[in-house]
Amino acid sequence: MTCVTLYTRVGCHLCEAVEEVLRGANKTKHAFNLEFIDIDQDNSAFALYQYEIPVVFVNGVEVARHRMDRATFERALNEARSS
């Protein structure tokens, strides 16, 4: 199954917008597990993404920073499924 990871933090409005996009994806067409990593709880993630969140990975490949729309996300899911 496809793994989607969102690097985020509490109170980040951009993160909340990207989370909505991720949760709004067609789960029937694109089955995936969604994992959240709070950079304030993970020192190595904080060092990498302190000023970059939200960051989205699909199967370990970065697909977006700061913003993401549904079409971009679904394209990334399609690519992950076909590889």
pLDDT at position 28 is 67
Find the domain containing 62 and state its range: 2-82
Please report, for the domain that includes residue 41, its CATH number. 3.40.30.10
Residue range 47-81, pLDDT digits in tens: 999 999 999 999 999 999 999 999 999 999 999 98
Number of domains present in the structure of the chain: 1
pLDDT at position 25 is 86
DSSP H or E run through 58? strand 55-58
Residue range 19-55, pLDDT digits in tens: 999 999 877 678 899 999 999 999 999 999 999 999 9
DSSP H or E run through 6? strand 2-8
